[in-house]
Every structure is written in C-alpha cells, then in structure tokens.
Structure 1
Amino acid sequence: MGEIPHLNRPSSGPGPGRYSLPPTVGFVNHDYTRFTSPVYSFHHRLGNVYLKDSSPGPCYYVEPQVTRFGRSGGPSYSMLARSKPTGQPWTPGPGMYSPERAPPLTQQRSPSFSMGSRTKYRQVDPVPAPNSYTLPSLLGPRVPSKSSSPGFTVSGLNKRGGYSEDLSQTPGPCRYNSTDPNIYRRRRPAFSMLGRPGTPKVTFKTPGPGTHSPERVTVHRTRAPAYSLGIRHSEFVAPLIVDTPQ
C-alpha cells in the first residue's frame, strides 16, 4: 500500500489574503471587466444672498410660550411711534371719464396693446452654464464605461524594412533603353513633311468659258446662222400658197 498523505499538513501556497483584485469603486484603477456607475460631483456652497435662513438654530434661546401653533399666552400689545399720515389719493372724478368716446361693445375692433416699462434683470446666478461642463471624449480607449472603436495611427514612410526598399540594388526595367525595331526588323517606310508649294505664276491670260461663242464659228459652214423677227399675222388670214399643183 502507498503512503497516505497527512490531512493536516499545511499548504505551501499563498492564502486568500495574498491576492488583490482591482476595486470597483471610483475611476482610478477601476476593474475593466465591470461597468462604472454614474459619477457625480458636489458643487461649492452658495452664498448667503440666495440662502436666507431665518429659522433659529440650536444656539438661540426659544421662549417657552412660543409653540408650533403660536404663542400660548394672552394677547399683548406694544406702543409704537405714530405713523405719518398718508397723502390724499389722486382719484379721478366723474368728469374725467368720456363714455361717448368708447366704441360700442357689439362692434368688432382690432386688439390694442400698450408698451410697459422694461422688467429688471434678475441677479447674476453664480452657477456655471451648461457649456462649462466637459464630458470625456469618446475617441480612444480611455473611457471605461463606453466601448471604443478601433483606432489607427498614420506614421511616416520608413525606407528601411518598407515595401519600397531595394534590397538587391539592381536597376529596374525602366532603366534600360529600348532598341529601335528598324535595326533588327524590316525597315518601316519613312515620310517627311515638306513646305507648302507656292501658287503657280500665270504667264499669259487664259480666256474663260464665257469668252467663246461657238455659234459664230464659220470654219465648217458658210456663215453663222442668223435669225430675224417678222410681223405677227392674223389667224383668220388665208395662207400664201406659192407652189400650185399643175
């Protein structure tokens, strides 16, 4: 039989207190596997101008007769100084009104408006405006509560180790000059462009087609044909018969 290990033998590994997990509270060194909760900040305390507390504090003495329902004692009076008499009110009399100038109640009229005085501005609020707050940028991997998009950076072109590095240091195809095909093939026809020829100079005046008159030529006939216009005869005149039959 093999040797049975002792159950009470202490373990040589570290205990649970030796391990430390990242905190889930706060923003610094937050556990990246957990979502962060909303973060709020406390604003500074406002001045006494807007926080007027007229209630007595614990350091003030409250009379026993004063209760939450009022004073529990009998009525009491105090003597004050005589107030100044108010002036006569400037109330208009019946003669100040002109009912005849008022339009009839059943008649429609356009609305009328009056210009009042400009209202006073309220006091400047020391609370910062909405555009004073800045939210963290959503670009980059620095926002733990938002999933960031992939980011890329463009660096300069490195000559060493790049795709354009010439390791063999040999000339490319464009470094060689092509041979003229007329050297090792049948020579192609060649043409040259000459200047434009000049206009031929006329040594004699050649007559045109309108100068000739073929009807007047008498080389192959006795004379040129001639025509004359006679008088107009009536249609009812009998024709002249010269040659009569025998």
Structure 2
Amino acid sequence: MDGAWVGTWRPHRPRGPVLAQFTSPGPKYAILGTTGHLAHNPTKTKAPAYSISGAKLPPISSCSPGPRYFVPPAITRNGKHVSPAQNICGLPKIKTEITPGPSDYATEKANRHVFKRPPEQPMAFRHKEAQSQTPGPGTYTLPRLIGPNTTYTTASPCYTMVGKRKRGGFAEDLARTPGPAAFPKVEVDVFKARSPSYTAASKAGAGGDRTVKPGPADYRVGRVTLTKPEAPASTFGIRHSLYTTPLILPP
C-alpha cells in the first residue's frame, strides 16, 4: 500500500462512496420538470399550451324544463285556456250575532243636535298639566351695584390684597444659610474619650455545635492520585475525515 503514515496508521481506499465526495445538496432539492405549464424549468424551452373548455350552454330561446316536469295540456303560452265550469259546494255558514233591540237606543239625547238650545258651560276640574308655573316676585333679583362688573352704574376702583412673597420680601434670606435643624446631631464619642461597650449575646446550646460533619466512611483513600502514582488510562477519540490535511512534521 502506498501513502504516507499518519501517526500510527496509514490511509487506505474507502470500500464504498463517501458522502464527502458528492458536491450536490442531496435529495432535499428537486429539479423542476419540463412537462406541463405550471412549475416548468425556466432553462428549458416550453411549447405552447392549449386549454380545453367545456361544452357551451344552450341558448336562452331553446331553454325548456325537459321531460322531468309535466305541463298540463290546458296551460298555453298565453295562460290557462279551459271552458267555463260551475263549482257545486255547500251553503255558507251564517254566524249568529247578538244585535241591539229598540230599547237599547236613547233618542232623548239627540234633541240637542236637532233643536236649537242655549250654550252650556261645563264645570270641570283644572288639569294638572295645564297649571302654569309662573315665577313669583322673589324669583327676580336686581343687578348688583357694588363691584367691578356693574350693569348701569359707574364702578369704583377695586384693590386686591396679595399674600406674602418668598422672594423680594423683607424676610427673604439673601445669604441662603441653613438653619439649626439642617445639621445632624454629632455623637459625644467624636470629641471625647469613648467608654468601653459590651454586647449581650444569646446563650449557646447545651450540645454545642450540631452541624452535620462527615465521618470516616465518607472519605475514599484509594482514589488519591496526588501523592501516589496513577496507572495510564486510554481514551477513545473520534474518526477523522480522509480529506483533512495530515500533520506533517519536519524530519
């Protein structure tokens, strides 16, 4: 076998095709076809396409319902043509209603429409909605005579009194100095000898420190490799490609 040694082994020919030898994207991409009108390959010549339409609709003048519908012989294009005939049916039912008699009518009230009579004025109560809600004398008020906005008199001059201003007043602090409350309180220990201070802590538990600590069984002495020699260990690597440039060291 020919070829340079790469490490402890020499390259050999592959038994079958390797995917790295192919430069195409694989079966993921499909080539457009050369037949049909839609999705045609633009690099190929396309022949003219013809469409086959369906049968034409019959004309309106020859439209008929067909043998499915039975047309009576008395029906013509101008309407129904039959000879005159009489229908025989029963007597109609008469509905009996209660009609008023002569005593139900009062003719005395008709005299006011037949004979002359003097006019009569009826006496009735006043309707609630017809009562007019007219305002009383206390509803109207005369225009004021004091103030700037008077109606028909001359207004005297008006003066307004404003409050005390923060700027430009006699009590304005031009120096902008802080007051006594602006300074914090100074501790006595800053400028005098400080006395010793003590803190009072809580009483410790009777059992002392109760934290969980590891015992002798938690330590594994046999795995110590820092102070004792360790046996060699082999690892499995990955397979490299045949087309990767090997590492050639100078002789």
Q: Is the pair's TM-score, using the shorter chain for normalization, greater than 0.5?
A: no
- TM interval, shorter chain, is under 0.3
Q: Which has the higher contact order (CA 8 A, sep 6+)?
A: 2
- Give TM-score scaled by structure 1 length: 0.21
- Give TM-score scaled by structure 2 length: 0.21
